[in-house]
Amino acid sequence: MDKVTTLAHPNIALVKYWGKRDEQLNLPAVGSISVTLDELQTRTTIEKLIGKCQDEIIFNDVIADEKEAEKIRKYIDLFREKSNEKIYLKVATSNNFPTSAGLASSASGFAALAKGLSEIFELKLNAQELSRIARLGSGSAARSIFGGYVQLHKGILPSGEDCFAEQILTADDFPLKTIIAITDKTPKKVSSRKGMKESQQTSPYYNSWVESSDNDLLVMKKAIIEKDFFTIAEISIQSCLKMHSVMMTTQPPLIYWNSKTFAIIEQVLKMYNEKFPVFFTIDAGPQVKIFTFEGEEKKIIENLKNLNLIDEHFVIGIGKGIETIED
């Protein structure tokens, strides 16, 4: 195969990943559970280059800067080593979602790349192997290999063999909706990778965060299988606030929220406490991701708009895993 195009979607974690047990192999210190999003996608086309001795990397139709390109070339090296084939490639990637959405484009980016490279180098990797190799690019990418509700196992082996993701339920099994409330469009100041390293080194709460995550994973997995919305909500809110407590107690403090983020949390909690089916989660940025049942999203958006808390938002369903498409 000389050319391939793949699609992957970003995901949002309900039980969060923050911290690593091995930096070199990018092994997480905690397992995580996420939902893969529909509509938003990364599209990656990979072509073999004839007579060239360097990969060409293009992001959203523009040649990638050297730092980004080097990261991708190193990642492609893994596949060159695995296949023993010294071919160079043109990799063109584009996202149909703005970076302001605060969605880890590295998750869909490395998932699409892992699938495409596996096809180009004819490695015939199954989904579990793809998830493992996507993880080497970015931890959250291991989850975007699958659609629906997905668990990434942290594993215990030093090799990382047992660190891969698996699907818990498909999107159709339990079709929730996500509202992504944009509160600030400026790029985040500290990346997840750098931030989690600092937390691990300095937050006094880091160890209890790691210890408490096993129980969150058990309860969340059961709640997803049972489609128990309010338990999913409770654990998701807890996991998010615990992760942000670790972030905030990092030295120097990692405060990703702004006043609107906080005001939205208050409103969502108010509705949740009145037994409205809604909950929130927040990643390493100020945007709030709000989950609810299909058909209930209007009430939440109206409420937040009336209080001037959102300027822009996206409503997104739950999506599928990676796919290869005909160009």
**Residues contributing to the site for ligand DP6 (CB under 6 A):** 13, 16-18, 26, 32, 104, 106, 138-140, 192-193, 283-284
Task: Rank residues 18 and 271 by Cβ distance to ligand DP6 and give the closer one.
Answer: 18
* Lateral strand order in the sheet of 288-293: 278-281, 288-293, 176-182, 312-316
Q: How far is the CB of 152 from ligand DP6 (least distance, A)?
A: 8
Q: Where are the alpha helices (DSSP H) in 125-279?
A: 127-137, 141-144, 192-202, 206-225, 229-248, 259-273
How far apart (Å, rounded) are the C-alpha atoms in residues 71 and 279? 36
Q: Whose Cβ is closer to ligand DP6: residue 203's or residue 303's?
A: 203
Q: Smallest distance from the beta carbon of 324 to ligand DP6, in angstroms? A: 23
**CA–CA distance, 91 with 48 (Å, rounded to integer):** 9
Q: What is the edge-to-edge ordering of all strands in the sheet holding 32-36?
A: 11-15, 32-36, 149-152, 165-169
For ligand DP6, the closer CB: 196 or 304:
196
Strand partners, 149: 35, 169
Which residue has the CB atom at the shortest distance from ligand DP6? 139
- The answer to whether residues 247 and 256 touch, using CB atoms and an 8 Å cutoff, is yes
Q: How far is the CB of 292 from ligand DP6 (least distance, A)?
A: 20
Taking the complex as a whole, the smallest distance from the CB of residue 98 to ligand DP6 amounts, in Å, to 17
The smaller minimum CB distance to ligand DP6, of residues 4 and 111, is found at 111
Nearer to ligand DP6, 139 or 321 (CB): 139
Pick the closer one to ligand DP6 by CB: 303 or 321. Answer: 321
Tell the smallest beta-carbon distance from residue 287 to ligand DP6 (Å): 11
How near is the Cβ of 138 to ligand DP6 at its closest, in Å? 3
Separation CA 201–CA 23 (nearest Å):
13
Q: Residue 129 corresponds to which amino acid?
A: E
Q: What is the largest CA-CA distance in the chain?
A: 65
| Residue labelled with tokens 């060239």 | 52
Smaller CB distance to ligand DP6: residue 185 or 193?
Answer: 193
Q: Which is nearer to ligand DP6, 77 or 302 (CB)?
A: 77
**Residue 34: CB minimum distance to ligand DP6, A:** 7
Judged by beta carbon, residue 20 or residue 115, the one nearer ligand DP6 is: 20
Distances (CA, A) of 30 to 134, 153, 190, 215, 259: 17, 8, 21, 11, 29
Q: Is-contact 165 142, C-beta < 8 A? A: yes
Rounded to a whole number of angstroms, the minimum distance from the CB of residue 106 to ligand DP6 is: 5
CB of 192 to ligand DP6, least distance (A): 4
- List the one residue out of 296, 167, 204, 196 whose CA is nearest residue 254: 196
C-alpha Rg value of the chain to the nearest Å: 19
Q: Which two tokens stand for residue 34?
A: 């996420």
